[in-house]
């Protein structure tokens, strides 16, 4: 529905593609992994956010200012969240399967701000801790290697200033909506 609205109002035309770009490959460190499998490997649906102060729901991660904490999460979820934090695609190259309990704490870079569900900035988990790269290696014994690889893109082919709202698209009784 949103895509249809954008196409109509902005004459938006786009297509999907991919190209080689800088990425991070998540690999197991030379001294072996420290990340632990969750005791229960069954897959349960995540039902909304966990209570404030509680551990994250099974299968979910809690994001904080300089922290990622997960309970029985897949590495695909972990790498998606790392990609958001690092502004670069992170690809799992660990060859590790299963669900993991993850506790990762680092000092956020200047300008890196995590928000609570209300949109308020969260304080850093540890203002004097390691960088995210060091934390991944020290706390999980995994490593981020800078490399290149395919990255999915959305390519905008055409866009215009928004068109005026056409009268025929408005409800018949507009006064009751805005009156």
Residue 4 forms part of a structural domain: no
Please tell me the predicted confidence (pLDDT) of residue 90: 96
Please tell me the predicted confidence (pLDDT) of residue 9: 82
Residue 157 forms part of a structural domain: no
pLDDT interval class at 148 (50, 70, 90):
very high
Strand order in the sheet with 13-28: 90-92, 13-28, 142-158
Q: What average pLDDT does this structure show over 148-157?
A: 90
Above 70 in pLDDT, residue 2? yes
Residue 71 structural domain: 22-42+52-152
Residue 7 forms part of a structural domain: no
pTM: 0.70
Residue 26 forms part of a structural domain: yes
Residue 107 forms part of a structural domain: yes
Above 90 in pLDDT, residue 140? yes
**In total, how many domains does the chain have?**
1
The two structure tokens encoding residue 36 = 């632990």
In 3-state terms, what secondary structure has residue 5?
Answer: helix
Most confident of 43-52, 88-97, 164-173: 88-97
Residue 117 forms part of a structural domain: yes
Helix (H), strand (E) at residue 76: helix 75-86
Residue 15 forms part of a structural domain: no
Q: How far is CA 24 from the centre of its chain?
A: 14
Helix (H), strand (E) at residue 20: strand 13-28
How far apart (Å, rounded) are the C-alpha atoms in residues 129 and 69?
16
The strand pair at 90-92 and 13-28 is best described as parallel
The two structure tokens encoding residue 49 = 């956010």
Question: What is the percentage of the chain residues whose pLDDT exceeds 90?
Answer: 38
Q: Which is higher by pLDDT, 128 or 24? A: 24
Please, which residues bridge with residue 14 across strands?
156
Q: What average pLDDT does this structure show over 38-58?
A: 69
How far apart (Å, rounded) are the C-alpha atoms in residues 48 and 67?
20
Q: How far is CA 66 from the centre of its chain?
A: 14
The mean predicted confidence, pLDDT, of the chain is 81
Above 90 in pLDDT, residue 137? yes
In which residue are the tokens 């200047």 written?
110
Above 60 in pLDDT, residue 173? no
pLDDT tens-digit profile of 72-124? 999 999 999 999 889 899 999 999 999 999 999 988 876 666 565 566 666 65
In which residue are the tokens 């786009």 written?
14
How far apart (Å, rounded) are the C-alpha atoms in residues 175 and 167?
13
Q: Which is higher by pLDDT, 45 or 23? A: 23
């Amino acid at each position: 529905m949103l895509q249809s609205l954008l196409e109509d109002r902005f004459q938006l035309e786009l297509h999907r593609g991919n190209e080689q770009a800088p990425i991070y490959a998540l690999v197991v460190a030379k001294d072996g992994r420290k990340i632990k499998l969750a005791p229960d490997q069954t897959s349960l649906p995540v039902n909304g956010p966990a209570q404030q102060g509680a551990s994250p729901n099974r299968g979910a991660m809690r994001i904080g200012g300089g922290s990622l904490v997960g309970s029985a999460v897949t590495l695909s979820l972990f790498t998606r969240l790392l990609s958001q934090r690092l502004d670069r695609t992170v690809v799992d190259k660990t060859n590790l399967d299963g669900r993991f309990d993850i506790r990762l704490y680092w000092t956020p870079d200047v300008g890196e701000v995590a928000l609570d569900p209300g949109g308020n900035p969260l304080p850093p988990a540890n203002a004097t801790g390691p960088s995210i790269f060091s934390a991944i290696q020290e706390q999980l014994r995994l490593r981020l290697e800078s490399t290149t690889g395919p990255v999915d893109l959305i390519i905008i082919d055409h866009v215009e200033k928004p068109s005026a709202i056409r009268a025929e698209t408005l409800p018949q009784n507009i006064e009751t909506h805005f009156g």
